[in-house]
Chain A
Amino acid sequence: MTEQPILEVKHLQHIYMKGTPLEHHALSGVSLKINKGECIAVIGHTGSGKSTLIQHVNGLMRPQSGEVVVDGMNLSDPKLDIRLLRRKVGLVFQNPEDQIFEKIIGDDIAYGPFKMGLPIKEVRDRVKWAMEVVGLSFDEMKDRATYALSGGQKRKVALAGVLALRPDILVLDEPTAGLDPRSRNELLEKLKTLNEQEKITIIFVSHNMEEVAYLAGRIYVLADGRNLVEGTPEEVFGEADTLKKHHIGAPDTVEILGQLKAKGFAVRPNAYQLEEAAKEIIAVLRQDGR
């Protein structure tokens, strides 16, 4: 491919508390190559280095060894404009609702744009756009108090607070952890819209294979700070044995189809999307009934 990747990570290493008895290797050579407009899932067991990896993407951590290049900006460059980088890459932490500090929703979402020094009209446009994108009505909600929101709504406010920076790349750490099923599905839909319609490159870390199957176009699996498997969901979920060895489950759909296949039914085991899988199963049932 001749296209320049929007994010390239080469042999990234990171050691916490280097040179002390508590030394801990979080990353021991991870590489990623992500093109503009992709939706990428990073999965792996707790302690596989996912969180450390994504903190490198917007310069909260600098490479100890290896390279991180975001849209032509090399993070090892000491003269790097970190503010510019952070406008390019929006990072949404786990439980981002904790970071809301303003009393009024509109003010909290406007915090980032104001810090960028934008004129108030531009700030307002961005807040409006961000709120509408995450599904909060600008006119109704902007003057409401933040304390009275539900958990799911708070998370939308926090997400809008990052989106208002208008990043090209959105990085999310466990975006749906702790949400009720309804808010979760809603949030996943919004992320899909962001990726498909607003053309924002999305990188997300997740433990939930269902949402990985729903959102991701490509998957990187990490284990012990190294790349384990990568590829499209079909390819990755096809490596069921490798995943199992590293205690990473596949989506329920893949599990069910795999077991059906093992029992001798004619199903495609990599039809991981919920609807496809349902079709496969219905087809089996029809054959059976005949």
Chain B
Amino acid sequence: MEKGLTTRKIVTAGVLGAIAILLGVTRLGFIPVPTAAGNATIMHVPAIIGGVMQGPFVGLVIGLIFGVSSFLDATIPLFKDPLVAIVPRLFIGVTAYLAYRSLKGVNEITAIGVAGFIGAITNTLLVLLIAVIRGYIAPGVAVTIALTNGIPEAIVSVIITLAIVVAWKKLDHGTNKKSKISGEL
């Protein structure tokens, strides 16, 4: 990764920020998997991808865009509080980047997967933590949500982050994977 703020970083942050907004205002941001809320959100994934691909600043800015758009768009009173809607989101891309960087030397694909997991968990935990501090929900309920919502969401996040980043970084080339319809039937 280049040092400093390059044109590429600025533009990447911009387009991924646009996707974060778009995922928030359409149904595409929700995957129908079993959680307490009935679906898992993937709106934080652009921030994770930005952090992994272009570093912590880009991750932070995308998180901020996601946070502000979820604040302006909120239909749940909890997220009409800027402290709950915006502040936690700033850290998604940053922790994802830190996870990626510390594991990159071991295995890049693992590092990307872990970054997807850590980014999603950061989102869940910080939102719940601030919601508890601000008195919107009880600590016991927060733990339940963390388990029932946070874990499926983290799994979804790992799958999507891997699918996108591995393809962009062209890490799966030379694996000689065959098509599903290949071989003797």
Contacts and interface: CB of A to CB of B under 8 A. Distances in A.
Interface of A: 103-107, 110, 114, 120-121, 123-124, 127, 142-143, 145, 147
Nearest to A108: B179
Contacts of A105: 179
A106 B181 contact: yes
B91 to A, nearest CB: 30
A124 B181 contact: yes
B150 to A, nearest CB: 28
B178 A143 contact: yes
B67 to A, nearest CB: 29
21 contacts: A103-B167, A103-B177, A104-B177, A104-B178, A104-B179, A105-B179, A106-B179, A106-B182, A110-B179, A110-B180, A110-B181, A114-B180, A120-B181, A120-B185, A124-B185, A127-B181, A142-B181, A142-B182, A143-B177, A143-B179, A143-B182
Nearest to A119: B185
A107 B172 CA distance: 16
Contacts of A103: 167, 172, 177
Contacts of B170: 147
B179 to A, nearest CB: 3
B3 interface: no
* Residues of B contacting A: mostly: loop
Interface in B145-181: 167, 170, 172-173, 177-181
Specify which of A121, A145, A147 lies most central, judged by the most chain B CB atoms within 10 Å of its CB: A145
A142 B179 contact: yes
Contacts of B178: 104, 143
Specify which of B178, B180, B182, B185 lies most central, judged by the most chain A CB atoms within 10 Å of its CB: B180
Q: In the complex, which range does the number of interface residues on chain B fall in?
A: 10 to 19
B99 to A, nearest CB: 25
Interface in B32-73: none
Interface of B: 167, 170, 172-173, 177-182, 185
Contacts of A147: 167, 170
Contacts of A120: 180-181, 185
Specify which of B167, B172, B179, B182 lies most central, judged by the most chain A CB atoms within 10 Å of its CB: B179
Contacts of B185: 120-121, 124
Given A103-B167, A104-B177, A143-B179, 15 more contacts: A104-B178, A106-B179, A106-B180, A106-B181, A107-B179, A107-B180, A110-B179, A110-B180, A110-B181, A120-B181, A121-B185, A124-B185, A142-B181, A143-B177, A143-B178
Contacts of B182: 106, 142-143
Contacts of A121: 185
Contacts of B167: 103, 147
A56 B109 CA distance: 43
A143 B179 CA distance: 5
A15 B178 CA distance: 47
B16 to A, nearest CB: 18
